[in-house]
Structure formats: structure tokens, C-alpha cells
Amino acid sequence: MKRIALALAVVLLAALPALAQVANGDGTDRWLKLQWRIEGNAISGRILNQYVQPADKVRLLVEGLDAADRVVEKRYEWVGGVVPALGNRYFVVRVPPGADHYRVAVDSYTFILSRDRF
């Protein structure tokens, strides 16, 4: 019985990183919400973490769009630091050049899961 429990624990722990990484791409992530605005040549904003664990390795997708909403430039930008559980973190990224307007989305992140929860 102990071997079955140990095997189950190993499988669950191995799956945690895959479960914690999310790539949505449409800006409407389940746990991380964005608020942003254009300030000169930069996009500034904050990420709101609505989950009970801190988020790390947060990557944003910043797209520059033309007047017809076609992507003319895109880049991935890392948000420095950890977004605290049920907290927020501010960010500033450069705007892609040559765009009429912009779209920003949470591309991916990893939750920092505490060991005592399992």
C-alpha cells in the first residue's frame, strides 16, 4: 500500500510544473488579469494575480497592430520578479515600432506551488 501511495505522489509531483504553466494568449487569463496603457514609447501596467499561490516567470505577448487589426510586429517580454499571491506587480515594456495600436496578453507563467499543500 505504501508503494502505491509513493508512486501516486511521484506522478502528482511530476505533473505539477505542467499543470502550473498556462499559455492562453488572448489576454483574458483565468488567474492573471492585465491593466495597461500607452505612455510615450512604453506600455505600463500591472498584473493582478487572483490565485492563492505566487506567479513566476510571467511572459507577456505584446503585439503591434495596423489600422486593419493585422499584426505588424510582436514581441515577448518578461515581467521581472514574482507576482504575489492575491497581489499585483507593475511592469513597463517597450512598444513595438510602426504600429497603429497595440494588444497585450499574458502568454505564459508558472505558479510557485508550496510543498505543504500535497
**pLDDT exceeds 70 at position 14:** no
CATH number (3.50.50.60, 2.60.40.10, 3.40.50.720, 3.10.129.10) of 22-112 reads 2.60.40.10
Name the nearest CA neighbour of 66 among 20, 31, 102, 116: 102
- The beta strands (E) that lie in 13-95 are given as 32-39, 42-49, 55-65, 71-78, 88-94
One DSSP character per residue, 26-44 reads SS--SSEEEEEEEETTEEE
Instruction: Determine contact, residues 32/50, Cβ cutoff 8 Å.
Output: yes
pLDDT at 29: 81
Name the nearest CA neighbour of 37 among 75, 82, 76, 93: 93
Starting at the edge strand found earlier in the chain, the sheet holding 55-65 runs 71-78, 55-65, 101-111
**pLDDT exceeds 70 at position 37:** yes
pLDDT at 27: 63
Domain ranges of the chain: 22-112
DSSP 85: T
Cα 74 to Cα 71: distance, rounded to the nearest angstrom: 7
Which range, of 5-14, 57-66, 77-86, averages the lowest pLDDT?
5-14
pLDDT band per the 50, 70, 90 thresholds, residue 116? low
